[in-house]
Structures are given as C-alpha cells and as structure tokens.
A = this chain, B = another copy of it.
Amino acid sequence: MANISNPDLPSEAISRLLALIGQPARIQILFAIGEQEACVCHLEAVLEMRQASISQHLMVLRKANLVTSYRDGRNIFYRLTQPGVLTLLQQAAQLVGIQPEALRRLALRPVEGCPCPQCNPGMDPQLTCQKARSKSKNIS
C-alpha cells in the first residue's frame, strides 16, 4: 500500500487515493472522524462492524497518511490528517445525489448506545468505552 504522495504518474497517485477511500467502511470512518476526532470504540458503535475489521481499515488509512492517531489511556483517538479529504467526500456525495442531511447523519453525535467519552459528556471517564461492563459489584 504505497504512500499517497508518491512521485509517479499523476493518474496513478490520484488512483491510489480514490481506491483507498473508495470503500463503504472507510468512507463511514472518514465521515465519523471528519469534524471531530473519535476513538475506536465510537467507530464500533457507528459502523456496527467488528473491532478487528475497523482496525484493519484504520491501519490502511494510517499507512496512507490519511489519518493519525494518539493514545489516551486505553483508548486511541483518530483524526483526519488532511481535512480536504472530507471535502472530497462531500463533493462525491453531492455527485451521487446524496442529500446534505443524510451526510450529516454520518457525523452526528451523540450516537445512541455509544459508550465513548464524546458521546457521553459528563460521564465518569473510567466508565466510557466499556462494553457490557459487569455490574455485579454494585448488585449486592
């Protein structure tokens, strides 16, 4: 997976970029982190895909320098490296006749059922991004 800014033929460089993001899961990811960075746990809630699949897509995007990540505790947050990618996607969406509102839904927060910190402002950070945490301790 060559880096996007390889100095070869223009058509090949453009091709790599488009082929890279020309996939439903990646497009959803890019929209989801486009306006605001997101942790993987948020992407799981949005994409409704298995975590491993999402990480695979993130790896591809990362190696292509389209996204960068940083760790915060157990969570890893992703954001766009070049915001222009979002513009590109928006224009593609317009070309295929997608309504702007439908696009906004892809970036909207909070996402219901998402346990990530950004979708749950004010929640104890210790409790975010936890799937089906056992509450047995509080039961007795």
Copies of this chain, tallied across the complex = 2
A96 touches B (CB below 8 Å): yes
Given A88-B88, A88-B91, A97-B5, do A23 and B13 touch, yes or no (CB 8 Å)?
Answer: no
Given A12-B24, A24-B11, do A18 and B106 touch, yes or no (CB 8 Å)?
Answer: no
A60 touches B (CB below 8 Å): no
A31 to B: closest C-beta gap in Å: 8
Write 18 A-B pairs (CB below 8 A) sorted by A numbering.
A4-B96, A5-B96, A14-B27, A14-B89, A14-B96, A15-B24, A17-B22, A17-B92, A17-B95, A17-B96, A18-B18, A18-B19, A18-B21, A20-B22, A82-B95, A84-B94, A87-B91, A88-B88
